[in-house]
Structure 1
Amino acid sequence: MPIRTITVPVKDLDAAKALYTRLLGVEPYADAPYYVGFRPEGGPELGLDPHGDVAAGPVVFWHVDDIAAEVESLLAAGATEERSIHDVGGPLIATLLDADGNRFGLYQGPTA
């Protein structure tokens, strides 16, 4: 499972958008009040989330084909569910914690 998305929680979406546009050298491909996404060449997607937990820091998302099966398998392997599978406008995401409390996410793209 490749890491394809890193989501950064932000307090000021406009300020973060300006900074990451400069840092990454690309304009956002998605620019909405609830998410700004960048796809820099050669790297994973970087998303800015104004509703994320700033204190917890960035979340790394693994893209999967079957999010329900992956969540079940990871729970059986010792993960705990932080936020259950939910729809974010087509894609499904979930966040889990490893045994040390480190947060990670799963992402399943919308089916055609």
Structure 2
Amino acid sequence: MARFIGFGNVVLPVRDLPASITAWTALLGGPPAFQSDDFAAFSNDGVEIGLTAAPWVDHPLVFWAVEDIEQEHRALVAAGATAMTETSDGSLAEVGTAEAAAGDNIDPATGIVDMPGARLAVLKAADGNLIAITQEVPMDWSADQS
């Protein structure tokens, strides 16, 4: 059984990322801590809110923090969850049924994604709900990220 150590963050679906970044910057009083072509993350007093334009995120997605993402991923799969991966067209597919998106640091065998400051994975529970897990990775955010 997976061991969640707490709430990691929530990712909200958006269809116009630049407009959403503007709105959330005004609401939270500062710009995102991280931003890419289809994702932005705001961090405020230990709470992280993500915005994504990825087409497979139709509802808010809660990420649960874990200490060891590989171990918890295996435990969830053993409990009946299905490992998922983002594909090149931005959709979500079961690992092994479609090619993972290229260049996004996605492990094609597990769907685990390495990104600045975190590792994350999305799995589908037997009831069809998505389960998202994240492991914090130490990072020096003051270093040049270009």
TM tier, smaller = 0.7 to 0.9
- CA drift at 1:96: 0.9
Change (3 A) 1:7 1:45: same
Residues of 1 paired with 2:118 and 2:62: CA distance? 16
Aligned to 2:21: 17
More helix by share: 1
Check the 8 A contact 1:25/1:40 in 2, yes or no. Answer: no
Distance in 1 between residues matched to 2:59 and 2:73, nearest whole Å: 21
Shift of 1:62: 1.1
Percent of paired sites with the same residue = 36
Considering Cα pairs closer than 8 Å and 6+ residues apart, tell me whether 1 or 2 has the greater RCO: 1
How many residue pairs get aligned? The number is 110
Q: Report runs of 4+ in structure 1 exceeding 3 Å deviation.
A: 22-27
Gapped runs of 5+ residues in structure 1? none
Aligned to 1:4: 8
Structure 2 unmatched ranges of 5 or more: 86-110, 140-146
Distance 1:103 1:5 in 2: 14
**Residues 93 and 78 of structure 1: CA distance in aligned 2, closer, same or farther (over 3 Å):** same
TM-score by length of 2: 0.63
Partners of 1:13 and 1:6 in 2: how far apart? 16
| Aligned residue among 33, 48, 52 for 1:49 | 52
Normalised by the length of structure 1, the TM-score is 0.79
Write out aligned runs for 1:27-46 (5 A). 27-41=31-45, 44-46=47-49
Amino acid at match of 1:12: D
Is the alpha carbon distance of 1:52 and 1:59 closer, same or farther for their aligned partners in structure 2, counting shifts above 3 Å? farther
- Determine which structure has more spread, i.e. the larger CA radius of gyration: 2
Q: CA deviation at 1:67?
A: 0.5
